[in-house]
């Protein structure tokens, strides 16, 4: 697997960093537009989980600032919920939202069901 050069650093889209800063400010409760958003901000700050809404950037790396954030990663069809933990730091968002359907494992077919040769 190819690795990125250390001197380049991790790749993160700029709008993700903006969203984390906006969420930090709204969780404090200082910038609330109406009662609904302030109650949602209080709920998320009391549980310690912030939600970054939807993310279309599967190529961005997960930074330590994103820990304890709930994100919804777009996989090409729907958004997949993902809770960011310390173990996911350094990975890409796309690793946690599969783009292909999982094929169910095929069970063994008994000799009576196969048919005669």
Q: Is residue 21 domain-resident?
A: yes
Range of the domain at 78: 14-34+44-100
Q: Is residue 114 domain-resident?
A: no
Residues 22-56: b if buried by 16+ CB within 10 A, e if exposed: ebeebbeeeeeeeeeeeeebeebbeeeebebeebe
CATH number at residue 18: 3.30.860.10
Q: How far from the centroid of its chain's Cα atoms is residue 98's Cα?
A: 11
Task: Summarize pLDDT for 95-113 with one digit per residue, the tens.
Answer: 998 999 888 877 766 666 6
Is the pTM higher than 0.75? The answer reads: no
Q: Is the per-residue pLDDT at 33 higher than 50?
A: no
Q: How many CA atoms lie within 13 A of 84 on its CB side?
A: 26
Instruction: Give the model's confidence band at 34: pLDDT under 50 very low, under 70 low, under 90 confident, else very high.
Output: very low
Q: Is residue 8 domain-resident?
A: no
pLDDT of amino acid 14: 86
**% of the chain exceeding 90 in pLDDT:** 21
pLDDT of amino acid 105: 76
Q: Is residue 25 domain-resident?
A: yes
Q: Is residue 117 domain-resident?
A: no
Structure tokens at 2: 């190819």
Higher pLDDT, 76 or 31: 76
Q: Is residue 85 domain-resident?
A: yes
């Amino acid at each position: 697997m190819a690795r990125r050069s250390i001197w380049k650093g991790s790749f993160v889209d700029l709008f993700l960093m903006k969203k984390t800063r906006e969420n930090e400010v709204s969780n404090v409760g200082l910038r609330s537009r109406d009662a609904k958003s302030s109650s949602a901000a209080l709920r998320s700050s009391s549980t310690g989980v912030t939600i970054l809404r939807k993310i279309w950037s599967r190529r961005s790396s997960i930074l330590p600032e994103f820990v304890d954030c709930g994100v919804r990663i777009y996989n090409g069809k729907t958004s997949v919920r993902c809770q960011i933990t310390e173990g996911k730091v350094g990975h890409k968002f796309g690793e946690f939202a599969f783009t292909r359907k999982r094929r169910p494992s095929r069970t063994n077919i008994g000799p009576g069901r196969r048919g005669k040769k």
